Amino acid sequence: MRYGLVVFLLLTISACVVSNKISSVTETAGQIPGRIQCELYDSGGEGVAYHDSDSINNGSGKLNPINGNPLHEFRMGEGVDISYTKTSGVDDNRYNIVAPDSNQLYVGWTTPGEWINYTIPVMETGLYKIAIMYTANGDGGISFDIDKKHLTGELLLTSTHIDKDTIAWRQWHHWNKIDSLTQVDLSKGTHQLKLHIVRNGQMNFDYLEFTRIGKSTVIK
C-alpha cells in the first residue's frame, strides 16, 4: 500500500511540474490589432523560437532569484532574458518618459544578432502602425520579418539614457513609448512575426502594439 501511495504521489507531482511548465510557455502573446507581450514568444527553444547570445536567462532565476515568485522564475530555463518592472524607484523613477505599469514582464539584456518569434493571429487585413514600449542605452535598431520575409527595414529606437540620473545602472533604465515606429500591411490569418535586434542592443522590450489605421495599400 505504501509503495502504491508513493508512486501515486510521484506521478501527481510529475504531472503538476509538466503542466506548470507547459502553461508557462504556451500562453498567447496577443493578437493584431492589439498588444503583443514580448516575453510571450513562441515555444521551441533556441534556434526555433528565438536566438540568444547565451543559454542563460540573465533575469529570471539569476538577477531575480528563485524564491517561488512567478515573476522571478518566468521561463527561467530558456535563453531569452526576462525581468519585470519593479517599484521603489527602479522602474517607477522620475526620469521615465512614459511611466510603465508595475510588475510587467519584459525582455532585456539584448545584443545585436538576437531574434525572437511570435505566432500571432491577425484579425483583419489592413494597414497597421507599430508602437513599442521600451528602454535603450543609446540609440538602437530593430527590424521585423513576417513569415520569414522582410517586413521592415531597420527601425530606430532613440536612447532613453539620462546622465543626470545619479544611479549609474539606472541611467538607461528609463521607459518610453514610440507610438508609431512604422506602418505595415498585414493580411488576415495566423502569421509568424520575428523581432530582430539589429544595432546596439542593451534594450528592454515590454510590448509591441499594432493599431489598424486603414485599408491595406497592397493586399486585396
Tens digits of residue pLDDT in 39-61:
999 999 999 999 999 999 999 99
Residues of the chain with pLDDT under 50: 1-26
pLDDT at residue 195, as a whole number: 98
Q: Which residue has the cell 502602425?
A: 129
Residue 30: all three cell numbers together: 496577443
Strand pairing report for 189-199 and 115-122:
antiparallel
Query: Degrees (nearest 5) of the Cα angle 187, 193, 199?
Result: 130
Say what the pLDDT of residue 217 is.
85
Per-residue cell: 34? 492589439
* pLDDT digits 0-9 by tens, 104-138: 999 999 999 999 999 999 999 999 999 999 999 99
- Sign for the CA dihedral angle at 14, 60, 93, 38 comes to negative
The predicted pLDDT at position 219 comes to 80
Fill in the amino acid letter for 45: G
**Distance spanning both ends of the chain, measured CA to CA:** 67
Phi, psi of 64, rounded to the nearest 5 degrees: -100, 100
Burial of 187 (0-12, 13-18, 19+ CB in 10 A): middle
* pLDDT at position 172: 82
Q: Report the C-alpha gap between 156 and 101 in whole angstroms.
A: 23
Residues 206, 84: Cα–Cα separation, whole Å: 9
Global model pTM greater than 0.85: yes
